[in-house]
């Protein structure tokens, strides 16, 4: 891939390559990072992180969060159905919504219903900011840990 990109840089020029490949790639990576972060952070309930003997495949899958991405759900393979995807990755994306609906009664309290979004998922900005203000670190000890807030970070952000 690197050789192909270098070759294309010589053929079409580095500025054109940046416009056609570099910028879309950076936007894609930022989107992927945001979605990955939001499926694991920012819920009103504190989500546990399991380590050692406490971790299991089921527990790991159930500590992810479904999100509603508005119209983006439809063009992004129902990306908001993250819990069922983690538990059963073999389910094709076009069956994730119905699989999620079928599994909700079984999950019970372990399923966290996502907030409903308008066509544009603007509410996710608030979820992201709230998480970044509160979810700073997890303890180095214990097999069931939760995100904690660093008082030095939270006090400096509120005083500005």
- Predicted confidence at residue 78, as pLDDT, reads 87
| Predicted TM-score of the model (pTM) | 0.79
- Predicted confidence at residue 156, as pLDDT, reads 54
Residue closest to 50 by CA, chosen among 140, 146, 139, 144: 144
- Predicted confidence at residue 11, as pLDDT, reads 96
- Predicted confidence at residue 160, as pLDDT, reads 47
- Predicted confidence at residue 155, as pLDDT, reads 63
Residue range 40-50, pLDDT digits in tens: 887 777 888 89
Q: How far apart are CA 91 and CA 84, in angstroms?
A: 8
- Predicted confidence at residue 55, as pLDDT, reads 93
Which residue stretches of the chain have pLDDT < 70? 154-160
């Amino acid at each position: 891939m690197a050789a192909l990109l270098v070759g294309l840089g010589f053929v079409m020029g580095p500025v054109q390559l940046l416009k056609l490949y570099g910028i879309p790639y950076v936007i894609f990576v930022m989107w992927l990072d945001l979605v990955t972060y939001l499926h694991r952070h920012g819920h009103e309930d504190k989500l546990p992180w399991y380590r050692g003997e406490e971790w299991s495949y089921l527990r790991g899958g159930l500590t992810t969060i479904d999100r509603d991405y508005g119209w983006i759900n439809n063009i992004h393979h129902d990306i908001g159905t993250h819990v069922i995807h983690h538990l059963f990755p073999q389910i094709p994306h076009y069956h994730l919504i119905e699989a999620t609906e079928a599994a909700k009664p079984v999950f019970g309290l372990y399923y966290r219903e996502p907030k409903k979004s308008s066509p544009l998922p603007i509410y996710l900005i608030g979820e992201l900011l709230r998480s970044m203000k509160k979810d700073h670190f997890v303890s180095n000890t214990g097999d069931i840990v939760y995100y904690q807030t660093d008082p030095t970070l939270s006090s400096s952000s509120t005083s500005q």
